[in-house]
Amino acid sequence: MNVAVDATKIPAPIFERSPGYWSSVFRRFRRDPVALFAAAVVGVLVLMALFGPWLTPADPYKSSMLARLKPIGTEGYPLGTDELGRDMLSRLMIGARLSLFMGITPVICAFIIGSSLGILAGYAGGAINTVIMRTIDVFYAFPSVLLAIALSGALGAGITNALLSLTIVFVPPIARVAESVTTQVRSRDFVEAARASGADAFTIVRVHVLGNVLGPIFVYSTSLIAVSMILASGLSFLGLGVKPPEPEWGLMLNTLRTAIYTQPWVAALPGAMIFITSISFNTLSDGLRSAMDVKQ
Amino acid sequence: MSADKPGRPKALIEVRGLVKHFPLKGKKADDGRAAVVRAVDGIDFTVYERETLGVVGESGCGKSTAARLLMRLLDPTAGEIIFDGMAVGSRDLPLKEYRRQVQMVFQDSYSSLNPRMTIEDSIAFGPRVHGVAARESVERARDLLSRVGLEPRRFAERYPHELSGGQRQRVNIARALALQPRVVILDESTSALDKSVEAQVLNLLLDLKEAFGLTYVFIGHDLHVVRYVSDRVMVMYLGQVAELGPGEALFGQPLHPYTAALTASMPTMDPDNRTEEAPLAGDPPNPINPPAGCRFHTRCAAAEPACAKQVPKLGSKVTPHAVACLMYEPGSGHSRAPAVQEAA
């Protein structure tokens, strides 16, 4: 038996392909029970919003003068009824659609606009940075609630205008975060090395900057979804957003406030939904942040 | 191009009067003009083909700024760089082409690699930018990984944080070589590594230089390392060249008092011959308001009144050993200066 081993016959050592960045983020996220729970709640809410019309036990628009303001647990109305005798459970389920839509859409729009502006300002630096960032600072002069109300009031009531004003409210903070992350990444040597290899600014941003900045901006943006929902609810509450009889949590909270003494628990339900949703989104974004925070 | 005569190597990079001043916002210098940091204040030198030019000096003397100027990561305030007879940035030699010929390895091995990219993609990025097909770029990257001593099968798809400092710096060297450059600027590239790893990487660099016929500009603060790798050494002080000469001559018989102080500060291997006291006291003066005359006169043991008035020129074009010191400048007013020789 020949003891010498033919070097070419030795099997290549099997190394796992290193997990990519996102799969390692996912792995860490899975180990965080609180964030997982929040993700599950958000998942249920999204499913409820998507399939609400097929799941509701009753017609959310059908009112009944005889069944007004029934308490929680009444037969046929598991969560009671509102001031017009409409089934609260069904209205809350359908309300998830508009509330989530009003919460998420402005943030997505603001994410696209804000991160573009911020990355441009952060990478270009100099005069371009000054122009963009000082313009954005102007918006910081107003508290966000006031700004949303003022814009909505000026544009007129309605869902589209509410979405538009919320988007404008969220562009400045997202742009600011994007700018600061980009400035930080731009000063790293790998960007210098990319410049030294002769790449143009657009290629460097696309290949080297985006991958390193979008994560943190995304995490920050998810935390704004809760704020957006609350602001949208506030606009509806003031009559600047969704119009009755559409079920939307903020609007429901408004119309039920007269019943706060007769049926306090029922009146509090839309508020509870807003609370649960916003805390879930916040916890989710916290979990994402810590999962993405790679200590090296 | 005709074959070069031995002993007369071809000048590859010629630097002429390179200046970089960084403006300081809202500050005024003593003379009332806007204050600037004179990081690099008029340097001339030549890098010959296939040599290693070492650059030494204290922190803040402008070594790294000079490297970034040479790479054109910074735009010079004044002066020009001529590469292979063509002015950099001119129509003959656009910046992109120049950057293919001259590459750089940075000090911080971690910061110089994109954490979201596999090292293979990081190395292949440069060739991709210069229009090499994706497949060929990756092949080149894998080939270079094995040239720098990293088994491609094991390392190609790893991320920077999975490698050690020495391995990462090997990746950075491979990345610099991926564009098949003629000059590599090594800006403190081995200073952050452990001594044993540093030695390996230095030997790798010397092997690669031989294999690819490279020219190095080696910036460092460890004089032993610079002496080991360099053919010629340039000593910088406060943004200017103090002395420039062949490594052995410069370290063996330093002419400039600053070089002498630097070499005296080198730890010796002989325990009976230890340096007992620091040959150079204090920090270098502020490069915002550098001293008048010779910039070193405030710390120089041989300083005389003339040194505070007259700026020494980097002299002696006859020998390859040039020095900027009044002691060697005929008729400078320094008591040790040689007499003026009448032109024959």
Q: What is the CATH number of the domain that holds A149?
A: 1.10.3720.10
What ipTM does this complex have? 0.83
Contacts with B125 from chain A: Cβ below 8 Å: 194, 197, 199, 207
On whether residue B43 sits in a domain, the answer given is yes
Domain coverage including residue B145 = 11-238
Nearest CA in chain B to A191: B112
Q: Can you tell me the mean pLDDT for B222-235?
A: 91
Q: Where are the alpha helices (DSSP H) in chain A?
A: 21-30, 33-55, 88-124, 126-140, 144-155, 159-186, 189-196, 201-204, 210-237, 249-256, 264-292
Tens of pLDDT, residues A52-75? 788 777 777 777 777 777 777 777
Closest partner residue to A198 (CB to CB) among B99, B153, B172 is B99
Tens of pLDDT, residues B40-93? 988 999 999 999 999 998 888 888 899 999 999 999 999 999 999 898 988 888
Q: At what angle do helices A210-237 and A144-155 cross, to 10 degrees?
A: 70
| Residues of chain B numbered 146-185 and touching chain A (CB < 8 Å) | 153-154, 157-159, 161-162, 172, 175, 179
Collect the ranges in chain A with pLDDT lower than 70: 1-20, 293-296
Tens of pLDDT, residues A119-158? 999 999 889 999 999 999 998 888 888 888 888 889 888 8
Contacts with B106 from chain A: Cβ below 8 Å: 189, 192-193
Task: Indicate if B188 and B262 belong to the same structural domain.
Answer: no
Quote the tokens at residue A54: 């097929």
CA-based nearest distance A184→chain B, Å: 11
Quote the tokens at residue B7: 């002993």
Contacts with A194 from chain B: Cβ below 8 Å: 125
CA-based nearest distance B94→chain A, Å: 10
Under an 8 A CB cutoff, do A190 and B113 touch? Answer: yes
Cα(B243)–Cα(B256) distance, integer angstroms = 6
Contacts with A22 from chain B: Cβ below 8 Å: none
On whether residue B53 sits in a domain, the answer given is yes
Contacts with B162 from chain A: Cβ below 8 Å: 18
Sign of the CA dihedral with A179 first, then A181, A186, and A191 last: negative
Cα(B51)–Cα(B209) distance, integer angstroms = 9
Domain coverage including residue A244 = 23-58+73-292
Under an 8 A CB cutoff, do B158 and A18 touch? Answer: yes
Sign of the CA dihedral with B84 first, then B88, B90, and B95 last: positive
Q: Please tell me the total count of domains within chain A.
A: 1
Q: Please tell me the total count of domains within chain B.
A: 2
Query: What single DSSP character describes residue A183?
Result: H
Nearest CA in chain A to B163: A296
Q: What's the pTM?
A: 0.81
Task: Indicate if B219 and B270 belong to the same structural domain.
Answer: no
**What distances in angstroms separate CA B301 from CA B37, B242, B281, one per listed residue?**
26, 15, 10
Task: Indicate if B147 and B32 belong to the same structural domain.
Answer: yes
Contacts with A195 from chain B: Cβ below 8 Å: 73
What pLDDT, on a 0 to 100 scale, did the predictor assign at position B284? 79
Written as one string, the DSSP assignment of A88-110 is HHHHHHHHHHHHHHHHHHHHHHH
Under an 8 A CB cutoff, do B125 and A199 touch? Answer: yes
State in Å, rounded, how far the first CA of chain B is from the last one. Answer: 36
Task: Indicate if B176 and B72 belong to the same structural domain.
Answer: yes
On whether residue B249 sits in a domain, the answer given is no
Judge contact between A249 and A240, C-beta under 8 A: no
Under an 8 A CB cutoff, do B112 and A296 touch? Answer: no
